[in-house]
Amino acid sequence: MALPKIDLPIYELELPSNGKKVKYVPFTVKEEKILLLAQESKDQEQIMLAINQIVNNCLVDYEIDDLALFDIEYILITLRSKSVDNKVDFSILDPDSENGDEKINLTLDLSQIKVKKDPEHSNRIKVDDTYTLFLKYPGLDGFKNLINDENIDVDKSFNALLSCIDKLVSEDEVYKFSDFSKKEVDDFIESLNGDVTKQIKKFFDTMPKVRHEIPYKNCKDENKTFVIEGAQTFFI
């Protein structure tokens, strides 16, 4: 006789990027093991792969490829909170202590973590009086080649940019960049003026991000703040 299969409860959350509601199940021992192995490896590529696998396993009828990176990070935090515990205890080294090695114990409440949105952020860029360029948020794949700062080169940065170009719109026409060859898109991007490229950079600089601040007192009884961003939440 086979062992029974345990049904998991189904929950719902709202995606920070677009407000859509998605269903998910809490992760099991299988996903927790994947997370622990990634933590132990301290390898950024393994961590990205683990995040991808866990979120993909737990989403119900939703493609992970359609998610922005900060959506994925937010889902992972919600999964951890629902599946294990919303409290994470950890310690940091006090940089203000005599040798910089004095430990301070902190507690992170995952239920308090939100996606921070910059009011100056926009995915619409006016190219000229006729055309508006629409950008889309990068997912995990858009960052896979950029996870090690020392390996970033012009080609990788440019390819990451291309993955976020969505469409060019006028009053009468819509050009989907996915319908054109890489060379055609390259040529178009290279023809843009400096003001447009500044706005593209601003899109990346002001993108929503999972960010949380934890106040604490250092060894001198001074008020300090420890900042956690993105997937770092799980690998502190």
Cβ atoms of 125 and 132 within 8 Å: the answer is yes
DSSP state at residue 123: S
Q: How far is CA 81 from CA 51, 64, 145, 194, in A?
A: 15, 20, 29, 44
Q: How far is CA 127 from CA 48, 55, 137, 178, 198, in A?
A: 34, 36, 19, 19, 11
- The confidence score (pLDDT) of residue 96 equals 86
- The confidence score (pLDDT) of residue 236 equals 54
pTM of the predicted model as reported, rounded to 2 decimal places:
0.81
Provide φ and ψ at 167, rounded to 5°: -155, 160
Q: Domain coordinates of the chain in residue numbers?
A: 11-116+209-234, 124-205
- The confidence score (pLDDT) of residue 104 equals 93
Question: Token pair of 80, please?
Answer: 């951890």
Sequential pLDDT tens for the chain (236 residues): 777 777 788 999 999 998 999 999 998 888 888 888 887 877 777 888 888 889 999 999 888 887 898 999 899 889 888 887 788 888 999 988 888 789 999 998 888 888 999 999 999 999 999 999 999 998 776 665 544 444 445 555 666 677 788 999 999 999 999 999 989 988 998 898 989 989 988 998 899 999 899 999 998 899 999 998 876 555 55
Provide φ and ψ at 228, rounded to 5°: -120, 135
Cβ atoms of 160 and 143 within 8 Å: the answer is yes
Cα–Cα distance, 113 to 9 (Å, whole number): 23
- The confidence score (pLDDT) of residue 101 equals 83
Cβ atoms of 189 and 127 within 8 Å: the answer is no
58-67: b (≥16 Cβ within 10 Å) or e: bbeebebeeb
Cα–Cα distance, 123 to 165 (Å, whole number): 10
Provide φ and ψ at 38, rounded to 5°: -65, -40
